[in-house]
Amino acid sequence: DIQMTQSPSSLSASVGDRVTITCRASQGIRNDLGWYQQKPGKAPKRLIYGASNLQSGVPSRFSGSGSGTEFTLTISSLQPEDFATYFCLQHNSYPRTFGQGTKVEMK
Amino acid sequence: QVQLVQSGSELKNPGASVKVSCKASGYTFTTHAIHWMRQAPGQGLEWMGWINTNTGNPTYAQGFTGRFVFSLDTSVNTAYLQISSLKAEDSALYFCARVDLQLLLDYWGQGTLVAVSS
């Protein structure tokens, strides 16, 4: 199974901050990775697909990069509605595996 | 617009069964597979497997064989997750999600909380 190691597990940030979250895959997964935002009681929302493609309707302050084993989600200027949990998902092989999640909290 | 709407929270006794539904709308149900995930309290997401909505063929992840059954009713565009012989450790939030044409999950249900307690 491919292990997805996500870091950090949590971070504190302020509105306007630049935030970076990383996922590392235990083996190469090309660009077969998505990033999602999860808020309590709500359906997870896809932000990025194909490692770097912005989902339609998602603000451009979100961006993804990486290929192979190392991937990054960046929020260029954190907004109040961005305080949430973020996770990555690899779809290169079965079983699908998720990063453990990063909770972005208000400083 | 694409929507997946799951059934409401369930409180069950140990040993009972539960059936969670996932009703799809806004697209042709049989063209996108449905995947199921589990999220135990305070934990990350765990992939349970998927069901081919065209053939009805299910695939289960390791650890989700035997007591877990994926099924469909294509007449009402709904996928189901049934868990039998419930245990306390089955208490979790269960999500359905569909895949896009690149087989990456795109739209998710809102989750169904299953609590198992006597």
Per-residue HEC secondary structure of B77-118 comes to CEEEEEECCCCHHHCEEEEEEEECCCCCEEEECCCEEEEECC
Q: Give the model's pLDDT for residue B105.
A: 95
Kindly list the residues from chain A whose CB atom is less than 8 angstroms away from the CB atom of residue B97: 44
Residues of B within an 8 Å Cβ radius of A: 4, 35, 37, 44-47, 59, 61-62, 95, 97, 99-100, 102-111
A42 pLDDT higher than 90: no
DSSP calls for B12-36: E-TT--EEEEEEEESS-GGGS-EEE
Give CA B95 to chain center in angstroms.
Answer: 5
Kindly list the residues from chain A whose CB atom is less than 8 angstroms away from the CB atom of residue B103: 91
**CB spacing of A43 vs B61 below 8 angstroms:** no
Instruction: Give the whole-angstrom CA distance, residue B9 versus residue A41.
Output: 12
What confidence tier does B102 reach under pLDDT thresholds 50, 70, 90? confident
Mean of per-residue pLDDT scores for chain A: 97
Which chain A residue is nearest to residue B44, measuring alpha carbons? A100
Exposed, middle or buried by CB within 10 Å (0-12, 13-18, 19+), for A67? middle
B80: distance to nearest CA of chain A, Å? 17
What confidence tier does A96 reach under pLDDT thresholds 50, 70, 90? very high
Kindly list the residues from chain B whose CB atom is less than 8 angstroms away from the CB atom of residue A99: 44
Convert the pLDDT of each residue in A54-63 to its tens digit: 999 999 999 9
Q: What is the mean pLDDT of residues A1-25?
A: 97
Convert the pLDDT of each residue in B39-98 to its tens digit: 999 889 999 999 999 999 999 999 999 999 999 999 999 999 999 999 999 999 999 999
Which chain B residue is nearest to residue A34, measuring alpha carbons? B104
Q: What is the mean pLDDT of residues A23-39?
A: 97
Residues 6 or more apart in contact with residue B107 via CB below 8 angstroms:
A43, A46, B2, B3, B4, B97, B98
Instruction: Give the whole-angstrom CA distance, residue B50 versus residue B25.
Output: 18
Mutate to test the interface with A, among B4, B46, B104, B112 (most CBs of A within 10 A): B104
B101 pLDDT higher than 90: no
- For the record, the structure tokens of A73 come out as 């989600």
**CB spacing of A44 vs B95 below 8 angstroms:** yes
Q: Give the model's pLDDT for residue B107.
A: 96
Q: What is the mean pLDDT of residues B95-104?
A: 92
**CB spacing of A45 vs B62 below 8 angstroms:** no
Which of residues B42 and A105 earns the better pLDDT score? A105
